Amino acid sequence: MKLFLTEDRSHVTALQDREKVDRLLQDVQAVSGRFKNEKGVQKISRTDKATLLQLYTRSTAVINDLNAKYHTPNGKNLLQIVKDYKKSFISSNFIGLKGYERALTDARLGLALWNTTLFTVVSVFLEFVLGLGLAMIMNKAFRGQGLIRTTSLIPWAIPTAVAALMWSYLYDGNSGAVSNFFQAIGLVHNSSDLLLSGSGAMMSTIIADVWKTTPYMAILLLAGLQNIPEGIYEAADIDGAGRIQKFFRITLPMLKPAILVALLFRTLDAFRVFDLIYVLTNGGPGGATETLSLYSYKTTFGQTNFGYGSVIVIIMFVCVAVIATIYVKVLGTNLMDKS
Partner 1 sequence: MKKTNYKWSVLSIALIAIFLFGMIFPFFWILITSFKPDGEIFGDGAYRIIAQNPTIHAYIEVLFNKGILNSVKNSFIVATTTTVYIIAIATFTAYAISRFDFKGKNLLLGTILGVSMFPQMIVVGPIYNLFLHLHLTNSYAVVLPYSTITLPIAVWILVTHFNQIPLALEESAKIDGATSLQILYKIVFPLAAPGVFTTAIIVFIAAWNEFLLTITLNSDQSYHTVPVAVSFLRTQFQILWSEVSAATIIVTIPTLIIVLLFQKKIVSGLTSGGVKE
Q: Toward partner 1, which CB reaches closer, 17 or 275? A: 275
Determine which residue in the list 183, 197, 205, 214 makes contact with partner 1, applying CB under 8 A. Answer: 214
Name the nearest CA neighbour of 115 among 208, 196, 189, 206.
Answer: 206
Q: Is 32 in the site for partner 1 (CB under 8 A)?
A: no
Beta carbon nearer to partner 1, 31 or 223: 223
Segment 39 to 68, residues that bind partner 1, using CB under 8 A? none
Angle at which helices 198-226 and 252-271 pack, to 10 degrees? Answer: 140
Q: Which is nearer to partner 1, 239 or 337 (CB)?
A: 337
| Main-chain phi, psi angles of 161, to 5 degrees | -60, -40
Integer CA distances (angstroms), 168 to 115, 180, 277, in order: 20, 13, 10
Which of 236, 274, 287, 288 is close enough to bind partner 1 by CB under 8 A? 274
Q: Is 337 an interacting residue with respect to partner 1 (CB under 8 A)?
A: yes
Q: Comparing C-alpha atoms, which of 211, 226, 222, 244 is closest to residue 138?
A: 222
Q: Does 178 bind partner 1 (CB under 8 A)?
A: yes
Residues 113-172 that bind partner 1 (CB under 8 A): 130, 133-134, 137, 139, 146, 148-162, 165-167, 169-170, 172
Q: Which of 111, 268, 288, 331 binds partner 1 (CB under 8 A)?
A: 268
**Long-range interactions of 9-14: CB distance < 8 A, separation 24+:** 11/70, 11/71, 11/72, 11/73, 12/66, 12/70, 12/72, 13/70, 14/69
Residues touching partner 1: how many (CB under 8 A)? 77
Q: Which CB sits closer to partner 1, 33 or 186?
A: 186
- For residues 28 and 59, is the Cβ–Cβ distance under 8 A? yes
Indicate whether 103 belongs to the interface with partner 1 (CB under 8 A). Answer: no
Q: Is 176 in the site for partner 1 (CB under 8 A)?
A: yes
Q: How far apart are CA 292 and CA 307, in angstroms?
A: 15
Q: Residue 80 CB, nearest distance to partner 1 (Å)?
A: 42
Q: Which is nearer to partner 1, 146 or 240 (CB)?
A: 146
SS3 (DSSP) at 197? coil
Q: Do 202 and 210 form a contact (C-beta atoms < 8 A)?
A: no
User: With contact defined as beta carbons under 8 Å apart, do 103 and 315 qualify?
Assistant: yes
3-state helix vs strand vs coil in the chain, percent to 5: 75, 0, 25
Within 275-314, the residues that bind partner 1 by CB under 8 A are: 275, 293, 296-297, 300-301, 310, 313
C-alpha distances (whole Å) from 31 to each of 35, 41, 48, 132, 322 are: 7, 16, 10, 75, 53
CB of 137 vs partner 1, minimal distance in Å: 6
C-beta of 109 vs 260, nearer to partner 1: 260
- Give the x-and-dash track for 215-234 against partner 1 (CB under 8 A): xx--xx-xxxxxxxxxx---
Nearer to partner 1, 24 or 315 (CB): 315
Contact positions with partner 1 (CB under 8 A) in 193-212: 211
CA distance 308 to 28: 41
- Calpha distance 86→101 (Å, rounded): 30
**Amino acid residing at 182:** F
| Closest CB 218 distance from partner 1, rounded Å | 10
Q: How far is the CB of 339 from partner 1 (least distance, A)?
A: 5
By beta-carbon proximity to partner 1, the closer residue of 1 and 164 is 164
As measured in angstroms, the least distance from the Cβ of 72 to partner 1 is: 54
Q: Between 231 and 250, how does the x/- string for binding to partner 1 read (CB under 8 A)?
A: x-------------------
